Amino acid sequence: MSMPFGYASPEQIMRDKADYARKGIARGRSVVVLQYEDGILFVAPNPSRALHKISEIYDRIGFAAVGRYNEFEELRLGGIRYADINGYTYDRSDVTGRGLANLYASNLGRIFTESIKSLEVEVVVAEVGDTPDGDAIYRLTFDGSVFDEHGFAAMGGQADAVATRLKERYREGMPLADALEVALTALTEPGGERPPVAQLEVAVLDRNREHRKFLRLTGARLERLLSQVSGGGAAAQEPAEEPPGAAPGEGASGAAGASGAAGASGAAGASGQATPPPTGPEGDIDDGSSPL
Amino acid sequence: MASHRDLPAGLVNQLFHNTGSSSFTEFVAGYAPELLPQRDKVLATPIGDQVPHATTIVAATFAGGVVMAGDRRATSGNIISQRDVEKVFRADDYSCMGIAGTASTGIEMARLYRVELEHYEKMEGRTLSVAGKANRLATMIRGNLGMAMQGLVVVPLFAAYDPDRDEGRIFSYDVAGGPYERERFDAIGSGSIFARGALKKLYRDGASADDMVMTLIQALYDAADDDSATGGPDVTRKIWPIVSVIDADGYRRLTEEQVAGYVEQMLEQRLISPDGPIAPLR
């Protein structure tokens, strides 16, 4: 980083910080958040049963994170305090995902510019609405950028490869079992082995639930869901492959698979320098056209 | 307030200040104390008689759960201030509380208590034990003692399903706190003496949820029969008691239609025998 009596340009400092954060995040496993017909699904390969990557924040709001556990845990706890205090001050319906995303963004942004070390985290704040149109998925990066994602979001070590696989298979209004299948396929490298059920952290924000929409899917319930998929595995796969069409679709998925694998191996070495976040130092210059 | 140095990893917002406890009330006391009920103010004149009072709440356990029911009347002195007030509140997925005494203070307490339970659950990733929930409520009531001495008394009844024992549990309180765990059934509020008398005769060990709902409806009717501050079922306006059932499947509040069914059945019998079911003598 900056040397005691030397000069380092602001660009250099920011680039170093961003690289540092990106390397830290790239070490973790990916997390996938996507819409399904009744709400929003969170899937994270997580060998630990005690340290959660996915959590409830409020009635309609869920949280998922990758990176350093102690850092995103502080964000999670702060988010719960923010939501509870707002819901208590006003009304439970006055707590929004957008407000929470802004709180996180301002804090992440300030830390990125002011602290020596930025937080090595990437966060998703998801809110389920009364209808699919009301659903929102906000992805926040270590520098405080907010991305209003449509349908799905992937983050973590191999986010680009996972997002590519997710994009190929994601359809609007999928049943829960299909959405879970899509998420697991996206999280698994082509030809790789899927994480065992015991090492999966899965939760949903189900708009049909009363009061609190967040629900962890564990044990027998999760296994039943997974068996629904593997029982009708072919059926679940087929519609996912159908929409792109005949030959071009196959070609595209093949190419993406190859690039995904290349991206994955590249990410391990060079921490995914191919596509940095848009507002990162070596990314596009912010001309005010970004969503937030 | 803590200085920024106490905050983790450069987070500057006080929302990220770790109080070292998972209690919402404790956090709010440091973050925005004016949001909490002001308990230490001395009122110029006691206003206990002028604010609406909530009245009778009954609860009873059944095989594998607990039922709580409350009438719908709120009174200020001899005036009926509200006919359809709600006094039984869901606290979390496996517990509920009913309030008797000053309605406004009770409603506020129920709201804070719900956040308190949920806050702990989200922060810690586990639900409080039933005893933990009951103790937390006792502390909140004790905090209200100063106001209670000036007439703003609120005394709740707490009921929860205990997953470790697979049974319902009931806790009662007094103005200074508690909790006192009750076996089988309990009642609070102005009509409680009459309701308790009815429950004594009608309670059956190992009854089903369906039977126990009927028992509580009968007990509430008996309370309304003899206590002017307890409201009976309002047939013309179709206002029925609030009935909540908690078992292994969680909390559920019976719908208006479901309660109406029980009430109609009871009223039909009471047309023949106005004092209700007769318990066997031997």
ipTM score? 0.85
Q: Is the pLDDT of residue A283 over 60?
A: no
Which of A159, A191, A160 lies closest to A259, judged by CA?
A160
Query: How high does pLDDT run on average in chain A?
Result: 79
pLDDT at A67 over 70: yes
Chain B residues touching A114 at Cβ < 8 A: 10
Name every chain A residue with its beta carbon within 8 A of the beta carbon of B118.
Answer: 84, 212
CB-CB under 8 Å, A78 with B123:
no
Chain A hits for B115, CB-CB cut-off 8 Å, are 84, 87-88
Q: Is A75 on the interface with B (CB under 8 A)?
A: yes
Domain A11-270 annotated CATH 3.40.50.150: no
pLDDT digit string (tens) for A187-200? 988 888 888 888 89
Is some CB atom of chain B closer than 8 A to the CB atom of A56?
yes
Asked if A103 lies within 8 A of B13 by C-beta distance, the reply is yes
pLDDT digits (tens, 9 = 90+) for B99-153: 998 888 899 999 999 999 999 999 988 899 999 999 999 999 988 887 877 778 8
Domains defined for chain B, CATH in brackets: 53-272 (3.60.20.10)
Digit-coded pLDDT (tens) for A220-254: 888 888 888 655 444 434 443 333 333 333 333 33
Active site residue B55: yes
**Domain ranges for chain A:** 11-270
Assess A6–B contact: CB distance below 8 Å, yes or no. Answer: no
Mean pLDDT in residue range B59-85? 92
Residue A276 has pLDDT above 70, yes or no: no
Quick check: A90 contacting B, CB < 8 Å? Answer: no
Cβ A88–B90 below 8 Å, yes or no?
A: no
Chain B residues with CB-CB distance to A21 below 8 A: none
Closest CB from B8, B115, B122 relative to A88: B115
| Per-residue pLDDT, A267 | 37
Pick the catalytic residue from B19, B45, B55, B75: B55
**Model pTM above 0.80:** yes
